[in-house]
Structure 1
């Protein structure tokens, strides 16, 4: 979903909607009280966020997978499969599955390690353990009480932080900041901390800085492009292209997780032709395009890099050796 502008400010509207957030919080408390937590017998590292919208969980999950692989482990990803139709448990097949089947993020994760989708997270964890994984990386799920996590990590966008600090629908938070930090022992802040996030972080939580880095910047240097994206914050993608010295002649925003239709593609192609430009989008958007078009549209490839990679690695080693 696209976050409304007032979620970033403590406006009169935000305050007026606060009583409705109490209903949201009561529903979350009821879900916790009526759930039975399960642990599959292999370590579970859960990456999540406290806010609605993209914060950088998927590249963070990919970065953690690389650390685990280098440590000699066999991690699998577990996702709800948001936007897909298959309930799971189902292991993602890059040859036959589409974003309409499993969602866009699991397709990206499956390029790096086995990825599973399951609306029932406990059932998904059981299936992954049976398939031979010794570590499960949950892409989202901090607010899901059905699975016991060995390590909870919150991913935070340094540019937007926690918005106005209010819970939905008064603000972008899925739960209170205090409640969220009670579930994690580490935080990843992506980009510069522009909203004073560190002032909200509990003393027991380790903080790691990180940045999103373009992997193919030369593909766009001094190149005219029409950029389009259906992600939580398209402007982050556009700025990344500008940082690569791309000349953006037009942009088109779509809803987060938008499934592209032929009419969308035709409009974009006509726009690019009019400007004599290349179409470019995110890797997450590309997998939501028809297979036949995926080779004709450029993507900006990204990866997350930690400021303190040894520190992150040491934390993971400690958790795997001793538990949380």
Structure 2
């Protein structure tokens, strides 16, 4: 690990004015610094800021501070009762020890677990723009089949962001200019294109302060399903956060977000639109899967993800509606 300056911020405003990388739980950043994948010159400790509360909103939603630990968020009664999919997604991630340290804001910003990104001897456009992508011709079993580019096929590693995508979360930020922004999570993550090193729409020095959840959808059933190589402490091969409501024998509401398939949590409005108004049936579920995976492309070792995602979607919809 290379030498760096360290400072502790007394307020969000002081943090964004300090000019450095933010660190709270450090469950991802410290590992990357040890490997010299990331080499910040300056770290700003934000762990003591007053951003660790979960608060009721007037509209019936919740405001979650960026420093709320994953374990506290998963165990919060309001989250369990109103946003079950979020609690389940959090409990499916990492280990209990890591969830005690990992924060809401940091979880949104965790980096890919692509082997070649972590190996500084490998070519990786995300780590070193213009270097190439060894994953394309290498062992790419965990890599993306949707939303990729010639420059990058890495997947987003998160569980919590997948659930928040299905819940239409809004990310609240503070910029060094003093501007506060409210960013729908659907617009927060960028696809790799020719700049895979730019993963979100955050500007340099911009700090996540809160996440807002809208009021829960009354009557919707929640499900988080994660398919992985082992039962715990493993990243998703395919995951699905699903909210579905059936009224009078027809699907009245559907929100479906996937992990393990793309460089960002993946939600395709066309899939949901194809389900709305239809009677739950094997034919309707198969048609939705066809839309989801119509543009999916494997890279060899990860080809299995396409039929796996199809089975996960169909099984989840069956369990929620039939």
Q: TM-score, normalised by structure 1?
A: 0.24
Point out which structure has higher relative CO (alpha carbons under 8 A, 6+ apart).
1
The structure with the greater share of residues assigned to helix is: 1
